[in-house]
């Protein structure tokens, strides 16, 4: 499915924004569950247990997004259209200057 025009830009922006929102939501849900457990069982450590699980869920969301982006970049890296693209342009520019200097 190809995204075109302004709508496509909006969708891509929303996808990037969703990672930030999911981090906040995961931590808030963990804190909320921790508070509920603390008030239900009257144990303070259950609050910290909920906070820990919220942070762990946020880290898991980051890892999933990283893996997704890495797969996309690997597809691009193996694409024949980009096979001759040089990653380190600065080094190539330095080599050109050296060749001019040597002549």
pLDDT surpassing 70 at residue 38:
yes
5: left (phi over 0), alpha (psi -120 to 50) or beta: left
* Mean pLDDT score, 48-61: 96
What is the per-residue pLDDT for 90? 59
Instruction: Let me know if 25 is exposed, middle or buried by CB neighbors in 10 A (0-12, 13-18, 19+).
Output: middle
The whole-angstrom distance between residue 97's C-alpha and the CA centroid of its chain comes to: 37
> What gap in Å lies between CA 66 and CA 70, rounded to an integer?
6
């Amino acid at each position: 499915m190809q995204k075109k025009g302004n709508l496509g830009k909006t969708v891509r922006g929303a996808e990037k924004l969703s990672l930030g929102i999911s981090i906040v939501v995961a931590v808030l849900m963990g804190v909320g569950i921790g508070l509920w457990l603390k008030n239900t069982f009257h144990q303070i450590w259950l609050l910290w247990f909920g906070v820990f699980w919220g942070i762990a869920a946020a880290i898991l969301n980051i890892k999933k997004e990283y893996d997704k982006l890495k797969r996309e970049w690997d597809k691009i890296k193996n694409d024949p259209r980009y096979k001759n693209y040089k990653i380190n342009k600065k080094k190539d520019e330095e080599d050109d200057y050296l060749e001019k200097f040597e002549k």
